[in-house]
Amino acid sequence: MAFTADVMTDFGYIKPSNVRLTRNTDLGVYNEVAMRLGFTDYFHAFFYPYRASLEPGLSRGELIERMSLVTIGDYLRGADNIFLIHNVDDLILESGEIEILEDLFGERATVFPRGGHMGNMESRDYIGRMLSIMDPAVTP
């Protein structure tokens, strides 16, 4: 995601902005860089500076608040075609966020006690829940 956004904006975060990619460009070096970056790196070094360049005066806190699902909470509460599958122990969650998500999605939220950040996507329970969302005739 970070690499694609960087290439599209020519921001210079992973790929230097003076480098032009071709269909024959070896992307291995860029992949190595991208794999060393975390979400916090992406936010502070790319996403926020890019957004702030489009809107001078924008604070990090304001951007975080704008990107929150809470800002579209009314829509999510009523969207019967949007579901949540999450894990309590996901490392990207801050204290209290799982409760916010459960409130936003109501009965459409499935929260597993373990799995970390996408660590249980191959588990039988997770797959069963995904299939039951896509086809209500399937029981998890």
pLDDT value at position 138? 74
pLDDT, tens only, 109-138: 999 999 999 999 999 999 999 999 999 887
Across all residues in the chain, what is the average pLDDT? 93
pLDDT, tens only, 43-66: 999 999 999 999 999 999 999 999
Distance CA 56, CA 67 (A): 17
Is the pLDDT reported for residue 95 higher than 80?
yes
Q: Which residues contact 90 (CB under 8 A, 6 or more apart)?
A: 115, 116, 117
In contact, 4 and 34? CB cutoff 8 Å: no
pLDDT, tens only, 76-91: 999 999 999 999 999 8
Distance CA 40, CA 97 (A): 17
Cβ-based burial of 53 (10 A; exposed 0-12, middle 13-18, buried ≥19): exposed
Domain residue ranges in the chain: 2-65, 68-134
Q: Give residue 47's identity as a one-letter amino acid code.
A: F
Closest by CA to 47, choosing from 32, 58, 31, is 58
pLDDT value at position 111? 97
